[in-house]
């Protein structure tokens, strides 16, 4: 008989007692004082954001849990979480929050704070590098369908110099450098 796999339970950080000494009491205020954090404290943990999120079912920490973790001061867990980087920025959560908590934008703030601390996943650094070097995230390649469509076999070169210059003047450089 085939073994049935138990569904993964909630992360241990949410089931074990929280060590108060490990909480950063200033984290809540830090996010709250940012332009997107004004309504943070209004969250009443209804989970509507999670219900609206198209990918929350594969996340270890669900959107409403991340918001709760921010309120509790679980700075390390939030800023080291994969979820803030996996967010699709579709704004479904934010649109539906009955308390007007800017969930998506708060995750942006978390990403910025994580980046300041060098906590950036390698794949994000790879994408930033592509953007910096080529001015685009995905290289446009020639495709056999071009012929069928009566187009030249090679994709004409795109002018990305201006974009590359802008990126060099921003902190995209810093992100790439931090991963090297």
Residue ranges in contact with ligand SF4 by CB under 6 A: 43-49, 52-53, 55-56, 63-64, 67, 87-93, 97-99, 101, 103-104
- The nearer residue to ligand SF4, 47 or 178, going by C-beta atoms, is 47
**From the CB of 60, what's the least distance to ligand SF4, in Å?**
13
- The nearer residue to ligand SF4, 89 or 136, going by C-beta atoms, is 89
Q: Where are the alpha helices (DSSP H) in 97-152?
A: 103-116, 122-134, 144-148
**From the CB of 109, what's the least distance to ligand SF4, in Å?**
13
Dihedrals φ, ψ of 118, to 5°? 75, 15
Whose CA is closest to 128, among 89, 83, 169, 175?
A: 175
- The nearer residue to ligand SF4, 37 or 176, going by C-beta atoms, is 37
**From the CB of 84, what's the least distance to ligand SF4, in Å?**
9
């Amino acid at each position: 008989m085939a073994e049935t796999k138990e569904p993964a339970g909630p992360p241990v950080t949410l089931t074990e007692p929280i060590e108060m000494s490990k909480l950063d009491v200033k984290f809540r205020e830090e996010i709250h004082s940012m332009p997107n954090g004004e309504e943070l404290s209004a969250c009443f943990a209804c989970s509507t954001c999670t219900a609206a999120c198209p990918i929350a079912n594969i996340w270890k920490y669900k959107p409403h849990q991340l918001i709760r973790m921010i309120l509790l001061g679980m700075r390390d867990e939030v800023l080291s979480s994969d979820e803030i980087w996996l967010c699709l920025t579709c704004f479904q959560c934010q649109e539906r929050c009955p308390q007007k908590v800017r969930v998506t934008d708060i995750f942006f703030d978390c990403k910025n704070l994580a980046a300041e601390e060098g906590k950036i996943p390698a794949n994000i650094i790879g994408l930033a590098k592509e953007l910096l070097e080529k001015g685009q995230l995905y290289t446009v390649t020639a495709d056999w369908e071009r012929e069928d469509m009566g187009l030249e076999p090679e994709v004409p070169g795109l002018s990305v110099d201006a974009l590359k210059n802008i990126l060099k003047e921003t902190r995209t450089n810093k992100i790439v450098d931090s991963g090297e």
